[in-house]
Amino acid sequence: MARVRKNTASRAQRAPRSESRPHWTELTDAGLLDLRFCDLDLELRDSELATRVEVLYDELAQRGLKFRPHCWLSTEWFSPDGVPGFAIPFYLAHPRLMALEHRQMQEVEGGTERECMQLLRHEAAHALDSAFGVHRRADWRETFGAWTTPYVRHYRPKPYSKRFVRHLDRWYAQSHPAEDFAETFAVWLDPSSRWRARYKDWPAIAKLRYVNRAMREIAGKRPSVRSREQVEPLSELKTTLREYYQRKRKRYGAEVIHSYDRDLSRLFTPRDFEDASESAAEFLRRAQPRIRFLVARSTGEAAHAIDRVLSDMIRRSVALDLVLARKRLASQRRATQRVARHAAKYIEKGYHQFAR
């Protein structure tokens, strides 16, 4: 992770500035995208995020932990190695930016209170590890694996495995030992998780019990690393939002989306407002069991992986407003087979794998 100079801004719970609407809230998306991050003049303490960070601090206190990770706004969720704090994405600091994020990426990670708290607990685990160095313990390695294991661009989870807790989407605990620890810590910290009951018959209970023991050992202790460094804070970023989203869309699979759009446009046709044909999305949902069977037979892939590809195809067919042409209604079996062949191709190319 690239580092920038230290920024010693004070904590999220400082008194908010006087309320006023940012000048950019009335801009069109095009105008907003031309702004630089540093021009947004955003402060975490002025947003709902400050309240949620305080909830996180309360949860840590209830567990007897004196550790309070410092938080700052940046472009993504991340906790840099060696820094006992973490960044929160800028768009969560204002509804106008959340709306832009949704239009640019079709989703808002952390956009609901529940998901935001899940991510705060997860990132707090990474920050706590930097503060206390728990991954250097031999029993940590025995429980979670080697912290030095290289991260991979894609991972293929086992959805039915009970060796890992289930917290963030896409079975994220399975992506790396450090993420396994962070997800386990997040479940342990969540006051509503009832982890002892939920996981009592799962092998993952051993990891939760380990976290419970390890946190009791450091309860009441001050962290050995107390840096307040902020890496890539929003106030220092000269990149425009347009440049950021161009890179982000490319990183999160613009080429994959292009492949879906090209092939779906060949399989189906654009909607003619005088044509009452079934929508492509409706057809795909109705034919999904048969398509899943055909793809599984040809590739040997698990149903959940096939369903991920089909879900992506359905989402793109809705965005393109495609329909099954009347002339193909009489040959739905053939249409199903054609879709299955394309889905199998996407499986072979790894479109079903989860990117980090």
pLDDT in tens, 140-178: 999 999 999 998 877 777 878 999 999 998 789 999 999
What is the tens place of the pLDDT at every residue in 221-252? 999 999 999 999 999 999 999 999 998 877 76
69-105 confidence digits (pLDDT tens):
999 999 999 999 999 999 999 999 999 999 999 888 8
Same domain, 169 and 48: yes
Write down the pLDDT at residue 13: 43
* Domain closes at, from 243, 261, 293: 243
The average pLDDT across 318-332 equals 74
Tell whether 276 and 237 lie within a shared domain. Answer: no
Residue 220 CB-density burial (10 A; 0-12 exposed, 13-18 middle, 19+ buried)? exposed
Q: Which amino acid is at 322?
A: L
Pair 325, 212 in one domain: no
In a domain? residue 48: yes
Which residue among 193, 209, 243 closes a domain?
243
For residue 37, give its domain range: 23-243
Q: What is the pLDDT of residue 82?
A: 95
CB atoms within 10 A of CB 252: 13
| Whether residue 190 is found in the same domain as residue 312 | no
Q: Are residues 135 and 77 in the same domain?
A: yes
Contact 325, 277 (CB under 8 A): yes
Question: What's at 199, amino acid-wise?
Answer: Y
Number of H helices, E strands in the chain: 14, 6
Q: Which helix (H) or strand (E) holds 74?
A: strand 70-74
Q: Does residue 33 lie within any of the structural domains?
A: yes
Residue 141 included in any domain: yes
Q: Quick one: average pLDDT of 54-76?
A: 98
As a whole number, mean pLDDT of residues 215-223 equals 96
- What value does the mean pLDDT take over residues 337-344? 84
Name the helix (H) or strand (E) containing 256: helix 254-267
d(CA 35, CA 333): 51
C-alpha dihedral (116, 122, 124, 129), degrees to nearest 10: -170
- Summarize the confidence of residues 177-198 as an average pLDDT: 98
Residue that is last in its domain, among 185, 210, 243: 243
Residues counted in the chain: 356
Evaluate if residue 1 carries a pLDDT over 50.
no
Any domain includes 269: yes
Residue 297: pLDDT band with limits 50, 70, 90: confident
**C-alpha to C-alpha distance for 253 and 314, rounded to whole angstroms:** 16
The label of the residue with tokens 């969560």 reads 92
Tell which wins on pLDDT, 277 or 43: 43
285 and 342 co-located in one domain: yes
Q: Where does the pLDDT of residue 327 fall: very low under 50, low under 70, confident under 90, or very high at 90 and above?
A: low
Could you report the per-residue pLDDT of 21-37, keeping only the tens digit for each?
A: 899 999 999 999 999 99
Structure tokens at 243: 């440049």
- Are residues 222 and 292 both part of a single domain? no
| Both structure tokens of 37 | 């991050």
Q: Considering the domain boundaries, does residue 2 fall inside one? A: no
| Overall average pLDDT of the 117-139 stretch | 98
Query: In sequence order, what are the beta bridge partners of 115?
Result: none
**Domain-located, residue 17:** no
Query: How far apart are the C-alpha atoms of 272 and 13, rounded to whole Å?
Result: 55
Contacts for 217 with CB less than 8 Å, ≥ 6 apart = none
Which residues sit opposite 279 in a β-bridge? 323
Residue 191 pLDDT exceeds 90: yes
Q: Are 306 and 292 a contacting pair, CB within 8 Å?
A: yes
Q: What does the pLDDT read at residue 28?
A: 97
pLDDT of residue 355: 52
Residues 225 and 149 in one domain: yes
Count how many domains the chain has: 2
Closest of 257, 249, 255, 317 to residue 286, by C-alpha: 317
Q: Report the SS3 class of residue 228.
A: coil
Token readout for 295 is 């793809």
